[in-house]
Amino acid sequence: MTIEKEPVLDDVLLKPLVEDALAEDLGRRGDVTSQATIPADMQAQLQIKARQSGVICGMDLARLSFALVDASIEFVAQVQDGETVAAGAVLATVKGNARHLLTAERTALNFMTHLSGIATATRQIVDSVAQYPAQITCTRKTIPGLRIVQKYAVRCGGGRNHRLGLDDAILIKDNHIAIAGDIKTAIEQAQHFAGHLIPIEVEVDTLEQLEQALEAGVSLVLLDNMSPETLSQAVAMCKGRAKTEASGGITPETVRAAASTGVDFIAIGYLTHSTTALDIGLDFSA
């Protein structure tokens, strides 16, 4: 499938993340190893390289990691976020004060390896279900403070974002239903609160709950932890009445079975909480 290029995030959003990461790494005394072993005025050139194939994400975070340590460092990107690269590909060249390059190294690589891992896993899952209409979405199961870039990485991999935050839409889950008393009451209260301004989605885990949600007039239902057989029945019940989203423990190994049921969306928390980092390194270039 063709993956459209995802618009990059603005530096205004990224800068605080990088500043916090650098402050965490530098501590009170800075990079004492580089101070101890490298002359203060030494210049160097290094290359950021992919050590395995994958989808790249985090180039601007890497650029900012170097720039916020030393604004004079030259960062030349060779690829853009969302591009698929082979093992050994040069992703960027950085040139400047050697101490400062090494000071920024780990922060830059931490962002790139983590986000590229998410983008790569997303692309693999998106490709694996390309024959089905289902769209892959992520969840709010993100690392605190990194949600905006993790969800960006999902988009770079060809996935879609679910709610960015609690204010994006109403999602009535099991605890809301339990506290409200029943699913009908929870939906009626949500409809009264939201009017036509806020989208409403309801989580159901049985076909009985699903019928109650449909009778209440919801337009999107989250089908939680259902078997493929039950998902197929749920999709049939929702046809022409509501959009469907499968969720609950879906993995790369089980996503095709979920997609084959005809659901409209598949929410996968794995993408932002359990993916493996892509191996990317920074090598000295003589």
Question: How does pLDDT run along the chain (286 residues), one tens digit per residue?
Answer: 444 556 678 999 999 999 999 999 999 999 999 999 999 999 999 999 999 999 999 999 999 999 999 999 999 999 999 999 999 999 999 999 999 999 999 999 999 999 999 999 999 999 999 999 999 999 999 999 999 999 999 999 999 998 888 988 999 999 999 999 999 999 999 999 988 778 899 999 999 999 999 999 999 999 999 999 999 999 999 999 999 999 998 999 999 999 999 999 999 999 999 999 999 999 987 6
* Residue 4: predicted pLDDT: 52
Specify the CATH number of the domain 11-126+276-284: 3.90.1170.20
- Look up the pTM and report it: 0.94
* Residue 1: predicted pLDDT: 41
* Short-list 97, 83, 95, 16, CA closest to 54: 83
Q: Which fold has domain 129-273?
A: TIM Barrel (3.20.20)
Is residue 203 flagged as an active site residue?
Answer: yes
> Given its phi and psi angles, is residue 255 left (phi above 0), alpha (psi -120 to 50 degrees) or beta?
alpha
Q: Which of these is catalytic: 6, 31, 201, 203?
A: 203
* Residue 194: predicted pLDDT: 87
Q: Which of these is catalytic: 51, 106, 163, 243?
A: 106
| C-alpha separations of 230 from 204, 205, 210, 226 in Å | 12, 10, 11, 6
Q: Which of these is catalytic: 140, 141, 147, 256?
A: 141
Structural domain boundaries of the chain?
Answer: 11-126+276-284, 129-273
Buried b (16+ CB within 10 A) or exposed e, 106-125: ebbbbbbbbbbbbbbbbbbb
Q: Are 44 and 34 in contact (CB under 8 A)?
A: no
Is residue 105 flagged as an active site residue?
Answer: no
Is residue 224 flagged as an active site residue?
Answer: yes
Q: Which of these is catalytic: 51, 140, 147, 173?
A: 173
* Residue 195: predicted pLDDT: 80
